[in-house]
Amino acid sequence: MNFLLLQAAPPEFSVDKLDQLIEKLIDLSVTAGRHILGALLVYLIGAFLVKLINRLVHTMLDRRHIDVSVQSFVRSLVNILLTILLIISVISALGINTTSFAALLASAGVAVGMALSGNLQNFAGGLVILLFKPYRVGDWIEAQGVQGTVREIQIFHTILLTADGKQVYMPNGSLSTSVVVNYSKEEYRRVQWVVGVDYGQDVSLVREKVLVLFKADSRVVQDVADKQPFIGLETLADSSVNLTIRVWVKTADYWPMYYEGQQQVYELFNREGINIPFPQAVVHLEK
């Protein structure tokens, strides 16, 4: 009977060990809570400071009248660096050893750098673009089959706004090494049309009337020696005598002149009775 009672008795439980375990859990909870609260406080203050510094950088660049292209690049770079610094500060506030984290980040950076070599090329391309300035913010450019207004030059991409309202992100690396056509770089642009008149028309008279028409337009450049209006006979085509019309205008007036100039020539031909030919074919029937 005594033997059975001895076997059924529960093992002795140490109250001291339970107290020690509870104390450790409380200490860990307090430490973890302190770190979490500290990290949250660091994040809130850091996010406020990042926003403040970005605003100060923007204001400073504006006051110094820095080029808009450089401004967008510098703001993007500063924002990325501050964000990385904020992340490291939050990790440090959580109680994680930032020394080992920095070493891990450095080793990971090498691997990521090799994997993202294209982005490094884009970063270098952005520096080349800012240094040599093939285009600026606000310029109308054409590159890799895309035309648009340069809206922003970031550290990796240039943002173009197309004529139909689409944003196109162009890698800086490819833009710095490929052909880029800048339509806004020069003060003047040449507008050119090819118009046809009937065979038998007095070409000299047509040329004179067209010259008078464009010399009366205030948008056409008249006072620059090598940019005078020009009308010349281009080709004797199958059904028409083709004339080339060239005028120079301010770059901002290019598209209005391009469309309105064609309409002015058409109305002139109608007023003066100058025939505009159309393709004709002569068919011989054999009996």
| CATH class of the structural domain 16-115 | mainly alpha
Residue 1 clears pLDDT 50, i.e. is over it: no
Confirm whether 122-182 and 188-272 share one CATH topology: no
User: Domain 188-272 belongs to what topology?
Assistant: Alpha-Beta Plaits (3.30.70)
List the domain boundaries for the chain. 16-115, 122-182, 188-272
Q: What is the pLDDT of residues 78-123, one digit of tens each?
A: 888 888 888 888 887 777 766 666 666 666 666 555 555 567 788 8
CB 212 within 8 A of CB 245: no
Distances in Å between the alpha carbon of 221 and those of 44, 162, 231?
A: 59, 28, 15
CB 243 within 8 A of CB 207: yes
Looking at per-residue confidence, does 23 or 185 come out higher? 185
Tokens representing residue 97 in the block: 């050893």
CATH, domain range 122-182: 2.30.30.60
Which residue's entry shows tokens 């609260």? Answer: 37
Tokens representing residue 169 in the block: 């992100």
Q: What percent of the chain has pLDDT over 90?
A: 39
Residue 12 clears pLDDT 60, i.e. is over it: no
Looking at per-residue confidence, does 113 or 280 come out higher? 280
Q: CA triplet 129, 135, 141: central angle to 5 degrees?
A: 125
Tokens representing residue 150 in the block: 């340069």
